[in-house]
C-alpha cells in the first residue's frame, strides 16, 4: 500500500505536531533517506500544493494545504492501520462508483477507493444525473468484496449517512443532518449524497461500492444560481475553507466502518439514538412522493428496524415507505 511512501510518511510526521518545526536531518533519519532525498520529497509536496514553511537551523512545518485532492494528503490523513489496499486518484471521472466496480471485477485487492477531482456527468439515486464540476468538493467511492447476504447490509446507506453526520459535525462543528434515506442536509439544504451499489451471485453480495459526493469548499457564488435555494456547502455555511484531503479521508474511514458494522449487525438501540440525533424533518409535516400521481402527507415519526420511513397520516395511521420508492420533502 502506498501509505508507506516517503511523501505520506513525511506528511504524517509534519501533521503529528503541525505547530513544531521538523529538521531535515531528523526526517532523513526517521525515513532512512539522505537529506537531499528528503529535500526532493518536500519540493514535490510543494508542487502538489502544500505550503511548507522553512527556517534555517529549525526545519520545516506545514502552513497550508492544497485546494484540490491529493493522493499523499488523503493517505496521510487515514489511520495507519486502515485496511485500504489501494487508492486511485483521477483528474476527472464520470463516475467513481463505476471505476470501483470495474476494479472489483479484476484481481485488484479490496477494500479500495477511487477519488476524482471533478465528476461531470455523475449519477445519483434512482439513475438521476448530477454534475460535479468544482474541484474543491468530495467525489469518492470505496469498494468491498463482502461475500455476505443482502439482509446484512439492509441499513447500510442510512448507517453510513449517520456515521458521516457525526464525523462531519466533529470536524466542522456544523449541525449536519441525514435526510432519509441518503442525503446529508445543513440548515435545510443539501450538502451531500450517498449512493451504494452492489453485484450479486447466488444471493450473495460479491461486490459493494459506497459513493459519496459532498460540497465542501464551494462558496455561495460557486453554487449554480438555480440550486442555491436547495443546495449549500460546508464553506458557505461556516465562512471558512476546510482541508479537503482530510474530509475525503473521513469519508473513506466512515464508509469502511459502516460496512464492517453492518456485516456484524447494528445494535438497534444505537441506531435509534443516532437517528434521533441526526434525522432531518423528524417530527415535522412532510410528504412522500411515490410517483407523479401518488403523494402522501403526514408527520415523520422515525424509521423501523429495516430502515423504512414511518409516517403518521392525518387519520393517525402509521404508514411505512421503503427506500428507493419515495421522495421525502417538507411541507
Look at residue 331 and tell me whether its pLDDT is greater than 80: no
Is 37 in the same domain as 126?
no
CB 56 within 8 A of CB 43: no
3-state helix, strand, coil split of the chain in percent (to 5) is 35, 30, 35
Is 78 in the same domain as 169?
yes
For 202-312, where are the E strands, in sequence order? Answer: 204-214, 285-289, 295-303, 309-312
pLDDT, tens digit, 9 for 90 and up, residues 131-153: 578 889 999 999 999 989 988 88
Other Cβ atoms less than 10 A from the Cβ of 241: the count is 14
Is 164 in the same domain as 252?
yes
Q: What is the mean pLDDT of residues 293-299?
A: 84
CB 113 within 8 A of CB 100: yes
Last residue of a domain, one of 64, 81, 116: 64
CATH label of the domain that carries residue 124: 3.30.930.10
Is 99 in the same domain as 225?
yes
Locus of grid cell 484481481: 107
Look at residue 129 and tell me whether its pLDDT is greater than 50: no
Cα four-point dihedral sign 5, 48, 115, 249: positive
pLDDT, tens digit, 9 for 90 and up, residues 161-183: 999 999 999 999 999 999 998 99
Phi (first) and psi of residue 21, to 5 degrees? -85, 145
How high is the pLDDT of residue 325? 60
The number of folded domains in the chain is 3
The Cα–Cα gap between 76 and 96 comes to 21
The Cα–Cα gap between 52 and 300 comes to 50
* DSSP string computed for 183-199: EEEETTEEEEEEEEEEE
Is 58 in the same domain as 8?
yes
Q: pTM of the entire structure?
A: 0.93
Last residue of a domain, one of 64, 83, 113: 64
pLDDT, tens digit, 9 for 90 and up, residues 51-64: 999 998 899 999 99
By residue range, what is the domain housing residue 29?
2-64
For the chain, the maximum distance between any two Cα atoms, rounded to a whole number of angstroms, is 76
Is 100 in the same domain as 246?
yes
How high is the pLDDT of residue 81? 87
How high is the pLDDT of residue 152? 87
Query: Which spans in the chain are helix H?
Result: 6-16, 24-31, 35-47, 71-77, 96-104, 156-172, 234-238, 244-264, 268-278
Amino acid at each position: 500500500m502506498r501509505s508507506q511512501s516517503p511523501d505520506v510518511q513525511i506528511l504524517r510526521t509534519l501533521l503529528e505536531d503541525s505547530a513544531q518545526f521538523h529538521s531535515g536531518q531528523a526526517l532523513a533519519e526517521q525515513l532512512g533517506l539522505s537529506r537531499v532525498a528528503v529535500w526532493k520529497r518536500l519540493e514535490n509536496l510543494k508542487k502538489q500544493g502544500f505550503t511548507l514553511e522553512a527556517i534555517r537551523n529549525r526545519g520545516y512545518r506545514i502552513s497550508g494545504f492544497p485546494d484540490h485532492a491529493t493522493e499523499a494528503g488523503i493517505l496521510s490523513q487515514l489511520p495507519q492501520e486502515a485496511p485500504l489496499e489501494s487508492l486511485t486518484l483521477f483528474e476527472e471521472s464520470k463516475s467513481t462508483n463505476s471505476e470501483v466496480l470495474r476494479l472489483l471485477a479484476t484481481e485488484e485487492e479490496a477494500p479500495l477507493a477511487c477519488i476524482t477531482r471533478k465528476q461531470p456527468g455523475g449519477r445519483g439515486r434512482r439513475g438521476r444525473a448530477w454534475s460535479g464540476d468544482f474541484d474543491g468538493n468530495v467525489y469518492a467511492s470505496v469498494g468491498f468484496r463482502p461475500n455476505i447476504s443482502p439482509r446484512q447490509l439492509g441499513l447500510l446507506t442510512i448507517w453510513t449517512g449517520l456515521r458521516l453526520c457525526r464525523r462531519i459535525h466533529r470536524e466542522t462543528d456544523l449541525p449536519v443532518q441525514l435526510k432519509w434515506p441518503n442525503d446529508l442536509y445543513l440548515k435545510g439544504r443539501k450538502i451531500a449524497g450517498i449512493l451504494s451499489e452492489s453485484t450479486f451471485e447466488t444471493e450473495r453480495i460479491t461486490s459493494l461500492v459506497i459513493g459519496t459526493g459532498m460540497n465542501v469548499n464551494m462558496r455561495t457564488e460557486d453554487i449554480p444560481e438555480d440550486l442555491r435555494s436547495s443546495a449549500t456547502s460546508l464553506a458557505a455555511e461556516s465562512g471558512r475553507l476546510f482541508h479537503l484531503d482530510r474530509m475525503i479521508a473521513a469519508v473513506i474511514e466512515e464508509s469502511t466502518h459502516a460496512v464492517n458494522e453492518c456485516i456484524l449487525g447494528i445494535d438497534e438501540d444505537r441506531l435509534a439514538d443516532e437517528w434521533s440525533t441526526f434525522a432531518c424533518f423528524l417530527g415535522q409535516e412532510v410528504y412522500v412522493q411515490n410517483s407523479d400521481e401518488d403523494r402522501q402527507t403526514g408527520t415523520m415519526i422515525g424509521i423501523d428496524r429495516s430502515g423504512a420511513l414511518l409516517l403518521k397520516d392525518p387519520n393517525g395511521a402509521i404508514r411505512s415507505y421503503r427506500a428507493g420508492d419515495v421522495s421525502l420533502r417538507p411541507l
